[in-house]
Chain A
Amino acid sequence: MSELTATAGRQAVRPAAGTTGLVLAALLLVLAILFPMFVSRYWLALGITVLFWTSFSGSWNIIGGYAGQFSLGHAAFFAIGAYSSAWLYSVFGFPTLVGMIVGSAVAALMALCIGWIIFRYKLHGTYFAIGTLAMSEVLRVLAGALPWFGGNGGIPIPLAQERNWLLMQFQPMAFYYMFLAATVVIIALSAWIARNRFGYQLAAIRDSEDVAESIGISPTRLKLAAYVISAALAAPIGTLYSQYLMFVDPPTFFGLLVAIQVVLPAVIGGLGTAFGPLLGAIVLTFAIELSDRVALRPGASLLAYGAMLMVFSVLLPRGLWPLLSKMLPGATR
């Protein structure tokens, strides 16, 4: 028995991403790579929307899902990324890629400062949600009030005169692949976190901070780490999205709607699961598309958001992924 114990590593505990899981994930990736080659522009746009929300929500999922800290201020980091690259390019002519890296660093620093205060003073649950929301709203108002950052009108991103990939002005199909890359990175990172010490410690904190502390885990440090990672990932997605739209402005990037929308795919798909945000983004994108068409009014989607949030938090708090993963062969959860 003791020999068994000594050799039984992680594999004995949870063989979730066994070969079957990896093969399925690879198959999915191949399909995703081939997808734009066979579809219309409409479907390509939907594909971009799905991947955009998957990667954005996946970045939120690290602090919101894995660490269980329900941030409502994630739009701030996304907007910091968008504004950094747009502003540095339009005012100083810095290549977008540089702005993207700067934005990520600024977002990480911002999360470090805000998180340090919030976690040190032990703001949990609703307080954390409201505190982060307040931070995001303050930044939104600031961005709207400062003419330097374009004020309420935002910053249009000037069309590049030269062809230079560093400026990241692409055709939609290229954006599709950029968002696909971001999605792959974030899903892989999430899966890695989940099976490492970091993920287990976060799970312990999510379940009970008191117990975690009593067995020598430091919640403050770990939550801060999760928050910084989450923010650093959200910013580049903001840059990508702003390049796709060719402008930045406060409501599109800092808005309350964005702060809530980013939470939804993870909640619908499954909080704290690697594939949850993808599943949620697919369901959400099609539900919104359908509801807008059926109602023939753009505003109908807002009602749909609210309804879905209610239905899922009451009936399926763990989201869709746990249901789906049970049906997949070889996967445990």
Chain B
Amino acid sequence: MLEISNLSVRRGRLTVVKAVSLRIAAGEVVSVIGTNGAGKSSLMLSVAGLVPAEAGEIRFDGERIDGLKPERRSELGVALVPEGRWLFPDMTVEECLRLGAFRKDLRAQYRQSMDTVFGLFPRLAERRSQVVSTLSGGEQQMVSIGRALMTRPKLLLLDEPSIGLAPIVVRQVFEALGRIIASGLTVVLVEQNVEQALRFSHRAYVLTNGAVTLEGSSKELLNDPRIVDAYLSV
């Protein structure tokens, strides 16, 4: 479904993603792990089209998308849940979600999409008229995920969904994500919480200084001594 070959991304003077190649099949959950500054977020932003690719190709469903505008990629079915959530602070939950379904092809189904999101996050249904900036961090994350789901994506790019959340809230968010995945959505998950990411995904790529240094099934990686040493041993 998503095929990235030799992708390089530059932010300012630094090349933060260096000739990265990865493939993600439909229905797969793949995590991208790595330390701070390894290039994970830039990779996500580049797939969503918010940061231009310097070199290489990004294909989605066989079609090259690296030259397309972000809104066009959204139409094709790519949705990003950005790190730090990027919400519209003065809007209510319902308004925020509704914005996700403003695309022409989505307007007719917006009520159903909204019901799906509220079904997934009943908490949001309770707070639908509340202004987003007054919500807790976990609830804001739910709005951000919900807004992405409102675009009816095929591929969901999740950038650090657990960042800054209390462990119990992280569990709630991941439970909901589990239900989304069960519905057949393809997910790329970027996480610093490596154990959480590996338990959640089928396969994983390890990014170090912008390059893929390790890849494999999540089960294997969980027991890989290099991973255990670098990320899991505290």
Contact = CB atoms under 8 A, between A and B. Distances in A.
A53 to B, nearest CB: 26
Interface string B41-79: 000000011100000000000000000011100110001
Interface in A188-223: 197, 200-201, 203-204, 207-208, 210-218
B184 interface: no
Contacts of B119: 2
Contacts of B82: 210-211, 214
A245 interface: no
Nearest to B86: A211
Contacts of A14: 92, 95, 129
Interface centre among B79, B88, B119 (most CB of A within 10 A): B88
Closest 5 CB pairs of A and B: A216-B74, A216-B103, A213-B70, A211-B86, A207-B88
A324 B59 CA distance: 52
Contacts of B203: none
Contacts of A12: 94, 128-129
B40 interface: no
A202 to B, nearest CB: 11
Contacts of A215: 74, 79, 99-100, 102-103, 147-148, 150-151
B122 interface: yes
Interface residues of A, number: 24
B148 A208 contact: no
A166 interface: no
A213 B71 contact: yes
Interface string B99-111: 1101100100001
Contacts of A218: 69, 71
B178 interface: no
B31 to A, nearest CB: 20
B30 to A, nearest CB: 20
B86 A210 contact: yes
Contacts of B79: 214-215
B89 interface: yes
Given A216-B103, A216-B151, A200 B86 contact: no
Contact of B50 (A2, A200, A214): A214
Interface of A is mostly: helix
Contacts of A197: 102
Interface in B118-148: 118-119, 122, 125, 128-129, 147-148
Interface residues of B, number: 39
Interface in A1-28: 1-2, 5-6, 8, 12-14
B49 A213 contact: yes
B115 interface: yes
A217 B82 CA distance: 16
A218 B49 CA distance: 13
B7 interface: no
Contacts of B50: 210, 213-214
B95 A5 contact: no
A201 B99 contact: yes
Interface in B140-177: 147-148, 150-151
Given A204-B88, A211-B86, A13 B99 contact: no
B5 to A, nearest CB: 23
Given A12-B128, A200-B102, A213-B50, 14 more contacts: A5-B114, A13-B128, A200-B95, A201-B102, A207-B89, A208-B88, A211-B87, A213-B70, A214-B80, A215-B150, A216-B74, A217-B71, A217-B103, A218-B69
Contacts of A200: 91, 95, 98-99, 102
B48 to A, nearest CB: 5
A5 B111 contact: yes
